A and B are shown apart, each in its own frame.
Chain A
Amino acid sequence: MTGATLTPRPGAVVGRAPLGGWALADTRALIGRTLRRSLRTPDTLLMGIALPVIIMAMFVYVFGGAIDTGMAYVDYVVPGIVLLCAGYGASTTAVGVASDMTSGLMNRFRSLPMRPAAALTGHVVESMVRNAVSTVLVVLVAYAAGFRPVAGPGAWLATAALVGAYVLALTWIAVCMGIVASSPEAASAFSFAIMFLPYVSSAFVQPETMPRVLELVARYQPVTPVTDTVRAWLTGAGEARPWVALAWCAGLFLAARVGAVVLFRRRTR
């Protein structure tokens, strides 16, 4: 142990603020961290792809023959599968946030002269990147299973933007769940709740085939307009309701974003 290594500095000296300020530099450092973590836990990404693919196989090959949607079932169901994949992938962010909150790492961040909420942003950006990868892979698998979209480049771009907005909103909800969860295990329960949302929507069957109460739930929950819009843009079937879909995503995003700030402050007082 060398004395010089451990000798304190005479005064509080920090580096000069970089271009864009410390907040941006902190956020970049923490995005780097979450992306590294992501690459080192490929099981999270694999699970995020395997699960939707298995569910797609079940619905296309097992139940699909018995479900009449007036079009090729694979074309009907793939938009829903894509959203299920995105939702599940976003929800796993809750586990990462909860593990930071409970492991002492968040306390270390908070004891540094940085903006600790930058750690949350790191998780959100990681979720966006991971879900972009898994969504593309799921669409490719769907193509192999017979999915034949008719969309042009514009519709594909619009779809990507809408799915991105959906993932962003769900990821921030997951961040809230991660902040309030007492443990990473508890936070993982959120994934299951999110997984079930698409079942009571237009993702797998048409809502009008459901009992009255469920039909109302399905019709007025956020997954339905997003699914309908993606389906209409990609396959030309049904009615696109982009403004309803976007309003849902924007509303959920804003509520969760504000919620995350409030919950984070309360939890870290």
Chain B
Amino acid sequence: MAPMIATHGLHKRYGATHVLAGVDLAADDGTVLALLGPNGAGKTTLVNVLATLLRPDAGRALVGGYDVVREPQRARTVFSLTGQYAAVDDLLTGRENLRLMARLAHLPAATGRRRADELLDAFGLADAADRLVRTYSGGMRRRLDLAVSLLTRPRVIFLDEPTTGLDPRSRGDLWAVVRDVVAGGATVLLTTQYLEEADALADRVAVLDRGTVIAEGTAAELKRRVGPAHLELELADGSVRRLPTDGSVPDARRLLAEVEAAGLPVAHWRLATPTLDDVFLTLTGGAHGATAPALEEVPA
């Protein structure tokens, strides 16, 4: 089955800056692909190309099987975009925003009105539906923004850093929405700087750095590339030591016995598995070495 989102050798330059330097990506129907990368990695540029807002200089991008350069109007009936800034009109009410966007998405009038009401309910905005968006909190604006992008029940959803600036509860709510739409069969491409977010939501993770995909796979695969888990020992004097382990009970028991035999004054210990932070820093040449030799001291 053809992927719902696919790019082949995408290039985009701004003057001397090669923002996208040959990006190949694919996301299967009904999956979440997380695009992970630091500021300036090209994440937003890539989303904007996929969302028909930017023309690539070279390469192809397909959304729902439609070429975004040759058939942008068709592609636009397949996907929806939620950008970094809530794209809602402050001087309209929540309901008016939804109805306006439904009209512009060319939904039949009755469907548009019904969808607006459904989404206001689903996103907990029913009480605020007839207030101007100007009076909404940041979390409410983001929820409305997301509701707008679900009006047409799109099969592909682009979320560009959807939780940046959200409090933990709003972030949890948004994660629940993403899980729901994917359970319903939608395909999601999500950009994020939060490795935890990619870990929590994504079926596959692509790490983007300076315009190229430097690693791609499931979160577990990427973590395996970084190295094994380790036991982290915090000693009485506050220093930390890390011991590589395969994470099994016998291995942990063996290591702890060694520690005891060596007479180390351990205050706390825990099993630390590699995080996507480790993945990211290792792949992008950060200083965060993950394979500390046995009993070597690591600054706390």
Contact = CB atoms under 8 A, between A and B. Distances in A.
A binds B: yes
B81 A107 contact: yes
Nearest to B132: A40
B212 interface: no
Contacts, number: 121
B104 A112 contact: yes
A3 B87 contact: no
Contacts of B76: 111-113
Contacts of A104: 83-87
Interface in A12-57: 12, 14-16, 22, 25-26, 29-30, 32-33, 36-37, 40-41
B52 interface: yes
A232 B269 CA distance: 93
A8 B103 contact: no
A36 B96 contact: yes
A12 B85 contact: no
Interface string B141-170: 000000010101111000000000000000
B155 A33 contact: no
Interface centre among B84, B119, B155 (most CB of A within 10 A): B155
Interface in B89-106: 89, 91-92, 96, 100-101, 103-106
A269 B54 CA distance: 5
A114 B76 CA distance: 9
Interface residues of A, number: 36
Contacts of A110: 52-53
B108 A1 contact: no
Nearest to B181: A6
Contacts of A269: 54-55
A105 B92 CA distance: 13
A37 B91 CA distance: 6
B211 interface: no
B109 A15 contact: yes
Interface centre among A1, A6, A103, A113 (most CB of B within 10 A): A6
B180 A105 contact: no
A212 interface: no
A30 to B, nearest CB: 8
Given A2-B122, A104-B86, A33 B54 contact: no
B100 A108 contact: no
A269 B84 CA distance: 18
Given A15-B108, A15-B109, A16-B108, A105 B89 contact: yes
Contact of B77 (A12, A41, A105, A108): A12
A14 B111 CA distance: 10
Interface string A104-145: 110111111110000000000000000000000000000000
B245 interface: no
A40 B73 CA distance: 33
B107 A15 contact: yes
Contacts of A114: 104-106
Interface in A55-71: none
Contact of B122 (A5, A9, A33): A5
B78 A12 contact: yes
B184 A29 contact: no
12 contacts: A2-B118, A8-B184, A9-B152, A12-B74, A16-B108, A33-B89, A103-B85, A105-B88, A108-B87, A111-B81, A113-B76, A269-B55
Q: Which 9 A-B pairs have the closest CB atoms?
A: A15-B108, A7-B184, A12-B77, A108-B87, A104-B87, A104-B85, A14-B106, A113-B76, A29-B103
